[in-house]
Amino acid sequence: MVQNVESFNLDHRTVAAPYVRVADTKHLPGGDIITKYDVRFCQPNEAHLPMPTVHSLEHTMAERIRDHVDNVIDLGPMGCQTGFYVTVVNQDEVGGMPAFLDTLATTLSDVIAAEEVPAANEVQCGWAASHDLAGAQAAASEFLAHKSEWETVQQ
């Protein structure tokens, strides 16, 4: 049975993380195109990122990616803790998937170089005690080390 949520229709047994794939595209009435990328760090049902690592990656990536591009709508973690969804507008106008991959690589390099997690305090974060910068940096480094494999989604 086909599900309404695109990722529920993906056979998670056949993918080969790490990878980056277009999970969805929406053509809006005004001509804009919304693209949602599946940025998968861990092999589904075999591994996952610890929640403090996910949280620190989310904060740092969401803040730093916007230093490089202005078309990001959202960057959010997957509940299964295996990756993130990045939603952008009009990505084809700025170079499509190749440009997105370059921006992602630059953003992950920013995570690795970070000295602190942005907004990891009780004023700006709903669970400020749940962060792990070292874990985020290790995950970013591991993901970045496999950049040549990012576009290979299926095993």
Domain with residue 124: its CATH number is: 3.30.1360.80
CA distance 100 to 91: 8
CA distance 115 to 71: 26
> Would you tell me how many other CB atoms lie within 10 Å of the CB of residue 139?
23
Which residues fall within 8 angstroms of residue 96, CB to CB, at 6 or more apart? none
Please report whether residue 51 resides in a domain.
yes
pLDDT at 90: 97
Strand partners, 37: 22, 86
Please report whether residue 7 resides in a domain.
no
Confidence class of residue 114 from pLDDT cuts 50, 70 and 90? Answer: very high
Q: Which residues constitute the domain of residue 81?
A: 21-149
- Whole-number average pLDDT of the chain: 96
Please report whether residue 95 resides in a domain.
yes
pLDDT at 7: 85
Residue type, 79: G
Residue type, 109: S
Contact 152, 19 (CB under 8 A): yes
Strand partners, 34: 26, 89
CA distance 35 to 41: 19
> What are residue 116's phi and psi, to 5 degrees?
-160, 165
- Summarize the confidence of residues 65-90 as an average pLDDT: 98
Strands (DSSP E) contained in 33-104 are: 33-40, 72-77, 83-89
Please report whether residue 30 resides in a domain.
yes
Confidence class of residue 9 from pLDDT cuts 50, 70 and 90? Answer: confident
Asked if the model's pLDDT at residue 152 lies above 80, the reply is yes
If one compares 1 and 96, the residue with the highest pLDDT of the two is 96
Please report whether residue 41 resides in a domain.
yes
Please report whether residue 27 resides in a domain.
yes
> Would you tell me how many other CB atoms lie within 10 Å of the CB of residue 141?
13
Please report whether residue 120 resides in a domain.
yes
pLDDT at 8: 87
Please report whether residue 13 resides in a domain.
no
Contact 119, 60 (CB under 8 A): no
Q: What is the number of structural domains in the chain?
A: 1
Asked if the model's pLDDT at residue 155 lies above 80, the reply is no
